[in-house]
């Protein structure tokens, strides 16, 4: 009996150690621009910091840019949500924070949105920002240009000037994803072939039905609601205000 209890203790104990070891580590929140991946020049970082500070001073919305060396075997959605919650971006009462995360090693980018800003920075709008303002510049190696274009779009929408971006979102919603169309056609012919073989080989009665799969709507929102709620305050006199995020926003790659 003692041996069994010892075995169980070791099993669950080691599992707990492994789980803790697998938790990601995050850079310190030292300002509104945390360039842990080192992709911005000092003057680019300073100009972006000043822009975000001026906007936060005027509106109290806390928008932060983070670049990271790697996602540590996490999805960009999971990492961004955990980072957002660890940094506690936005005010605790209004959850008015937003995070633009760039992981150049994995070529991933995400806009993570706090609860209080989801009505303005919708999943559809953040996806359009990523695909039309950010990733085209990233593809040419212009990280500063892509980040600034994304931030300008986010701040414009938060300030109430979202008409242009809503038009772009409507255009995208009418477009079919060519990759999904091809997948649908292939699956359609596979199903037809299966039905043909079943009809040829059928003996006696009985039967059934087949549901044809349709194209997916795509991963415009994504993210996970789990994460850390532990407090965090970085150096430099800057910290999050206690806000949180439930996974709203969008992701992309280049």
Expressed in angstroms, the distance from the first to the final Cα of the chain is 57
Task: Tell me the pLDDT band of 176, cut-offs 50, 70 and 90.
Answer: very low
Residue with tokens 């660890």, as numbered in its chain: 86
What is the C-alpha to C-alpha distance for residues 63 and 59, in angstroms, rounded to an integer?
11
Give mean pLDDT, residues 128-135: 96
Reported as half-sphere exposure (CB side, CA atoms, 13 A), residue 164 has a value of 11
- The overall average pLDDT reported for the chain is 78
pLDDT value, residue 191:
61
List, in sequence order, every residue forming a beta bridge with 100; answer none if it has no partner: 65, 111
pTM of the complete model: 0.68
Reported as half-sphere exposure (CB side, CA atoms, 13 A), residue 25 has a value of 5
List, in sequence order, every residue forming a beta bridge with 248; answer none if it has no partner: 113
Task: Tell me the pLDDT band of 173, cut-offs 50, 70 and 90.
Answer: very low
Q: Where are the alpha helices (DSSP H) in the chain?
A: 2-22, 42-59, 76-87, 123-129, 135-138, 143-158, 163-173, 178-201
Domains of the chain listed by start with CATH number: 22-200+244-254 (3.10.310.50)
Model confidence pLDDT, tens digit, residues 68-111: 999 999 999 999 999 999 999 999 999 999 999 999 999 999 99
Task: Tell me the pLDDT band of 185, cut-offs 50, 70 and 90.
Answer: low
Task: Tell me the pLDDT band of 160, cut-offs 50, 70 and 90.
Answer: confident
């Amino acid at each position: 009996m003692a041996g069994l209890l010892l075995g169980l203790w070791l099993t669950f104990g080691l599992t707990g150690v492994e789980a803790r070891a697998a938790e990601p580590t995050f850079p310190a929140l030292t300002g509104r621009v945390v360039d842990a991946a080192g992709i911005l020049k000092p003057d680019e970082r300073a100009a972006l910091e000043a822009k975000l500070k001026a906007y936060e001073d005027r509106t109290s919305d806390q928008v932060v840019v983070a670049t990271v060396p790697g996602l540590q075997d996490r999805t960009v959605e999971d990492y961004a949500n955990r980072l957002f919650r660890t940094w506690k971006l936005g005010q605790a009462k209004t959850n008015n924070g937003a995070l633009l995360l760039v992981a150049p090693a994995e070529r991933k980018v995400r806009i993570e949105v706090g609860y209080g800003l989801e009505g303005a920075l919708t999943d559809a709008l953040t996806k359009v920002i990523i695909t039309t303002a950010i990733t085209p510049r990233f593809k040419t190696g212009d990280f500063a240009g892509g980040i600034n274009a994304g931030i300008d779009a986010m701040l414009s929408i938060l300030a109430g000037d979202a008409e242009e971006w809503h038009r772009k979102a409507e255009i995208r919603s009418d477009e079919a994803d060519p990759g999904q169309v091809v997948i649908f056609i292939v699956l359609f012919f596979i199903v037809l072939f299966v039905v043909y073989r079943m009809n040829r080989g059928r003996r006696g009665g009985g039967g059934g039905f087949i549901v044809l799969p349709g194209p997916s709507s795509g991963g415009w929102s994504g993210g996970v609601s789990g994460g850390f709620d532990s407090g965090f305050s970085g150096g430099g006199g800057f910290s999050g205000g206690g806000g949180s995020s439930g996974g709203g926003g969008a992701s992309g790659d280049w």
